[in-house]
Amino acid sequence: MLVVTNLQKIYMSGLLRRRRTIAVEGVTFSIAEGEIVSLVGESGSGKTTTALMVLRLLRPTAGKIEFMGQDIWKISNSEEVKRYWQKVHGIFQDPYAAFNPLYKADRILYQALDLTLNKDNNRLTTIREALHAVGLRPEDVLGKYPHQLSGGQKQRLMIARCYLLKPKLIVADEPVSMIDASSRAGILKLLLELRERYATAILFITHDLGLAHYVSDRILVMHKGKIVEEGRPEDIINNPQHTYTKKLISDIPLIMKKWDEFADFHLKTKG
Amino acid sequence: MSSLLDAKDIKAYYRFSSQFVRAVDGVTLNIDYGDILGIAGESGSGKSTLGNVLMMNIRPPLQFMEGRIILEGKYDLTMMTYQDLKSQIWGRVIALVPQNALNVLIPTRKVQDFIIDVLKVHQKLRKKDAVQLARQRFQDVGLPVEVLIKYPHQLSGGMRQRVVIAIATLLSPKILIADEPTSALDVSTQKQVLKMLLQLHVDNIVKSTILITHDIAILRQVAIKIGIMYAGKIIETAPADQLLQTPLHPYTRGLIQCVVTPEPEISKRGLTHIPGEPPDLIRPPSGCRFHPRCMHAELICIQEEPPLTFMTNHHMVACHLATRWQACSL
């Protein structure tokens, strides 16, 4: 469904001494309908840049992004762009920044409805259904301002938009990194449910390989703008090939086992 | 020997007109020499407020209501004036690395100039001596000295976090309170920051650390003791290994089950979360504050508040049904 070929992004900075920063280079991957693909890497690895390009928010320097056979950077008229954003939807890291604090939080749901061609009078009913689907009680959120809601509630609202728009592809950029550990799984389950119901494909972007391995069908490991390893979650975790993947895995804090060098430390201080 | 810091039944509320948000509502804890105490809880549980209250860094609308905070069995911090706290305690005895530490550095000042300003306030140090002290300390904790002449934007997030920790501990405080020092960082950088926190102990720069985080897996790696905070109260506390292996409070058990690490024992369980939202601390629930979200809640949990009681030698829990959980493992 989504085919990304040889994607490249070079940022230019400086007025007199132009400096080139290669953010993404030679990135090639594809996502099938209903598939969840994770893009994992550290900060600065180019994963968000890739997300922005897929969302048609940032123009690539080179390469091609095709969605359902159409080159998305060849679309020019605004109607078609709108239709693209209806099919490809973004969920971002910071639910606090996604809301305009001056407006009531449910505004984003009405805006989403405006994008659809659904112009009937049952907007409120439709919205209530979507809220139920994401585990929110309408009376808890309707008519509230963003500051009255928790981060988890806000992120659920963002996902409620997906239930209204029923996109083909969701680009979720670190959707739970600012959410409490206790609510993370709830948010992730919503994304999985969405896939079950509407065969939505998800490009899941995270720095947390642990998280990625829970939700994805396939993992792409990104390092310094390039994809260095690709595979099924179990294979990546149990049998990583690339040195960077190995390091990434060894740096994940586990709950059953202490890092060796840290265990030594505790012995030292006790003694 | 008395413990390093002893907090007894401290309460601190945020005041908004006539309403109080009971962010810290009767917390008792002590920190010994050499301790690394981890405080874990959701956002809105009052853990960041607790960090500030423990050093009496109280600013409106936060109000200190009651309780004692005894340092080394001698000084009661709650009786000290702002001036005394500022000149004698903060930075020298207790230092705080606040939650948004990545943004503490001033964008237009080099790291070195920032340090000179800070030390001028705290120790009336001359410029040359301040730089000398900073250089020495940066070398000790393994930070490149070149960082001193850089601007914050030239440093990565992890480096900025480590620089802020190094600055906070320049005067070798006895206690370091680190509030979510790893939350905005990726895993590899997290590990470096945690390593630095341990290194400060090894080098005897700090005696004890209070690490506030919502990430239990991180506490597993570094904490010696863990306290779990819920709705303004500590609901369970125990040595780290014990707390993670035999958690007793249903909330603690829930938190541990929320962990998503790539480990076979954890993967089998799949994704779990704690339903519901943390309570409104203006009108906290009656009885046990966790009862509206607890699937085991009984009548007594709604009517009576469970006291924090010893179950074994070092393991305390505030749950009416705690003995029941002792029998069944996670």
Taking the domains of chain B in order of start, what are their residue ranges?
A: 247-330
Considering only CB atoms, A207 lies closest to which of B43, B187, B270, namely B187
Chain B residues touching residue A211 (CB < 8 angstroms)? 260
Full-model pTM: 0.89
Lowest mean pLDDT among A47-56, A116-125, B180-189, B259-268: A116-125
pLDDT band at A135 (very low <50, low <70, confident <90, very high): confident
Alpha-carbon span A6 to B249, nearest angstrom: 52
Q: State how far Cα B179 lies from the chain centre.
A: 5
For testing contact with chain A, the best of B188, B200, B212 (most A CBs within 10 A): B188
Alpha-carbon span A109 to A114, nearest angstrom: 9
Q: What is the mean pLDDT of residues B224-244?
A: 94
Give the pLDDT confidence score for residue A79 in this predicted structure: 87
Give the pLDDT confidence score for residue A35 in this predicted structure: 96
Share the mean pLDDT of chain B.
91
Alpha-carbon span A191 to A170, nearest angstrom: 9
How far away is chain A from the Cα of B124, in angstroms, using its nearest Cα? 33
Residue A3 half-sphere exposure toward CB, CA atoms < 13 A: 8
pLDDT band at B1 (very low <50, low <70, confident <90, very high): low
H runs (alpha helix) in B5-126: 47-54, 82-84, 111-123
Give the pLDDT confidence score for residue A165 in this predicted structure: 87
Asked whether A219 and A236 are in contact (CB, 8 A), the reply is: yes
- Inter-chain touch B187–A189, beta carbons under 8 Å: no
- Inter-chain touch B263–A42, beta carbons under 8 Å: no
How many other C-beta atoms lie within 10 A of the C-beta of residue B324? Answer: 12
* Residue A143 contacts B where some CB pair is shorter than 8 Å: no
Structure tokens, A190: 């919503």
Mapped onto helix, strand or coil, the DSSP state of residue B72 is coil
**CATH numbers and ranges of domains, chain A:** 31-61+77-234 (3.40.50.300)
Structure tokens, B275: 């339903």
For testing contact with chain B, the best of A155, A178, A182 (most B CBs within 10 A): A182
Considering only CB atoms, B273 lies closest to which of A186, A247, A268, namely A186
Question: Is this complex scored with an ipTM above 0.90?
Answer: no
pLDDT band at A200 (very low <50, low <70, confident <90, very high): very high
Encode pLDDT of B20-40 as tens digits. Answer: 999 999 999 999 999 999 999
Give the pLDDT confidence score for residue A271 in this predicted structure: 40
Q: Locate the chain A residue with the closest alpha carbon to B259.
A: A181
